[in-house]
Structure 1
Amino acid sequence: MKIPFLGGRQALLDPTLVAPMSTAARPELTGGRRIGVLVQHGFTGNPASMRPWAQDLAERGYAVEMPLLPGHGTRWQDLNKVTWDDWVATVEGALDKLVAENDAVVAVGLSMGGALCLRLAADHGDDLAGIVVVNAAVDTLRKDVKLLPVLKHAVPAMPGIANDIKKPGADEHGYPMTPLRAAASMFAGYAELRRDLPRITIPVLFFRSAEDHVVDISSSRAINAGLSSKDFEERVLEDSYHVATLDHDAPRIFAESAEFIERVTREQQG
């Protein structure tokens, strides 16, 4: 389903699709400990792209916090009113809540959501048992990104990046446009994050699609070269595009991330 336009402006998204999710831990399913998972969507997306994963985690007994990032889930024009710092503050708030209510916490994210998880790992690694990122974006080979600081003043948006999904009929319900002020702020945030990747020492599980039309190989190279973690693994998804959380490999992501969460939270307990 394509998101319609009304009078040149995008129609509001269905609130049931973009609603945040918050569930309590069920320690009877997780060995008596309360385990929390922060679940984060990506740029121009919303919780719809992560809801099946979040629901799977909740069914396994994990407390789930899946916030809606500022500027997302409404109209693409709203995204140009916020910045990378606003998104970082949102995930930090969700992390604080999970840490206060649980014995151990893991963060998982898609695309820019993965970058925000890496940001948390660099800044708040003591609060996390580990992170899982899917097609995490931290860099790009695109040359036009260098023009964003100037272009953002002349052009409000470019064509969108939503629905890079191999599975027929799947829809992430993302924005149909890429707001350039927001994109410029995001790439500036990525540049700072790349410099801080060596600060990440906690366990990291990184899923990467072999064919991704949104995030190119430069992000994988930066993550592999930058992390200081001794517990890092990159796993390649052969049957999904960028939004792998809604694609053919989603069941694999759900199962293998659950195994990772169980392991790293148990190891953190000692």
Structure 2
Amino acid sequence: MPLMPGSEPYQHEGGQVGVLLCHGFTGTPQSLRPWAEHLAAAGLTVSLPRLPGHGTTWQEMNRTRWEDWYAELERAFESLRSRCSEVFVTGLSLGGCMALRLAEVHGASVRGLVVVNPSIVNDTPLLSLAPVLKFVLPSVAGVAGDIKREGVTELGYTRTPVRAAATLPKLWSLVRSELGRVTQPVLVYHSPEDHVVKPQSVELLKEVLGDNLTVRECADSYHVATLDNDAPTIFEGSLDFIRTHASVPLQRD
């Protein structure tokens, strides 16, 4: 299946500190590419995979489910872990949810997390009907491209594949049920004006994670804050977070 130009995965071999980045639902690595390149320039080993079904067609994505996306992320994590002394995990939206899942499963092997507008709560009532709708409605309007900054676009589907979306509630439920296992430091970037993910997800993280959690607002960005006006703040802030919590120094190229 041909890829949408610009949706290719990205990797960079740097020092002993690795960072895994995960893009969002119906998006592509393009939404995180500038972030990945910023971290790579600081000497980090970086992996930004393309999740199965993404970056091709929404019809192709309808043949995948959350377990497929998570399996690809875990494969990339294990690869990084085999090459690096320690690994940090970051993600946008669904990618933030799956980053939290990695932390739940792998414990101390995940050194810390940086998530941007994470999605762990079903805040879209229509999605509750997706298990039934998928048999009669293959797609609905897309969610990609929620960006405040003029002239910037996100590479993603204009339609949301319903059969794939119908698998999300099980992932959210699983992640919420084991949030207490996340003991690593977590930095969350949150856009108050987000037209895709509502505030309930961040509120739940505050409630469960307590002192392990730091929340910073992206006051001048919408959902895809990694391509928006607050992107430089996210990039530099995440780098500072990694420098603070890494046990080995970052290696600059």
Are 2:123 and 2:197, in contact at CA under 8 Å, matched by a contact in 1? no
Instruction: Specify the SS of the correspondent of 1:39.
Output: strand
Residue in structure 2 matching 1:95, options 63, 77, 83: 77
Instruction: Tell me if structure 1 keeps the 8 A contact 2:122–2:172.
Output: no
Give the gaps of 5 or more residues in structure 2. none
CA deviations on 1:192-214 (whole Å, 9 max, x unpaired) are 11111111111100000010000
TM-score after normalising by structure 1: 0.89
Task: Report the CA distance between 1:223 and its aligned residue.
Answer: 1.6
> Which residue of 134, 155, 161 maps to 1:173?
155
1:219 is aligned, of 192, 201, 210, to: 201
**Is residue 195 of structure 1 aligned with residue 177 of structure 2?**
yes
> Partners in 2 of 1:113 and 1:206 — Cα distance?
12
Does the residue aligned with 1:78 lie in a helix, a strand or coil? helix
154-163 or 137-146, which deviates more: 137-146
Matched length:
249
Of 228, 239, 242, the match for 1:247: 228
Contact kept in structure 1, 2:192 and 2:199, CA below 8 Å = no
Amino acid in structure 2 at the alignment position of 1:37: V
* Structure 1 residue aligned with 2:7: 18
Q: Which stretch of structure 1 is more off in the superposition, 209-218 or 186-195?
A: 186-195
Residues 249/140 of structure 1: CA separation in 2 closer, same or farther (3 Å cut): same
SS of the residue 2:187 aligns to: strand
Q: Distance in 1 between matches of 2:207 and 2:104?
A: 15
Q: How does 1:138-177 map to 2 (within 5 A)?
A: 138-177=120-159
Whether 2:42 is the aligned partner of 1:52: answer no
Equivalent residues of 1:35, 1:102 under 8 A apart = yes
Amino acid at match of 1:140: N
How big is the shift at 1:230? 3.5
User: What stretches of structure 1 of length at least 5 have no aligned partner?
Assistant: 1-10, 28-33
Q: Secondary structure of 1:37's partner?
A: strand
Q: CA deviation at 1:245?
A: 0.2
CA–CA separation in structure 1 for the residues paired with 2:212 and 2:128? 33
Mapped partners of 1:152, 1:188: distance in 2: 15
What is the SS of the residue equivalent to 1:129? strand
- The Cα shift of 1:141 comes to 2.7
Residues 22 and 83 from structure 1, CA distance in 2 versus in 1: closer, same or farther, beyond 3 angstroms? same
Cα distance in 1 for partners of 2:164, 2:196 equals 16
- The answer to which structure, 1 or 2, has the higher relative contact order (CA under 8 A, 6+ apart) is 2
Deviation string 1:170-226 (CA, Å, 9 cap, x unpaired) is 111110001011111122211111111111111100000010000001111222223
The residue aligned with 1:3 is none
Match of 1:6 in 2: none
**Contact 2:17/2:248, CA 8 A, preserved across alignment:** no
Q: Please name the residue that 1:131 is paired with.
A: 113
Whether the 8 Å CA contact 1:194–1:226 is kept in 2: the answer is: no
Structure 1 residue 13: Cα displacement = 5.2
Structure 2 Cα separation of the partners of residues 187 and 231 of structure 1: 25
Letter in 2 for 1:170: V
The secondary structure found in structure 2 opposite 1:202 is coil
AA in 1 matched with 2:225: A
One-letter amino acid of the structure 1 residue matched with residue 191 of structure 2: S
Q: Cα gap change, 1:56/1:40 in structure 2, threshold over 3 Å: closer, same or farther? A: same
In structure 2, distance between residues paired with 1:235 and 1:157: 34
If the length of structure 2 is used for normalisation, what is the TM-score?
0.95
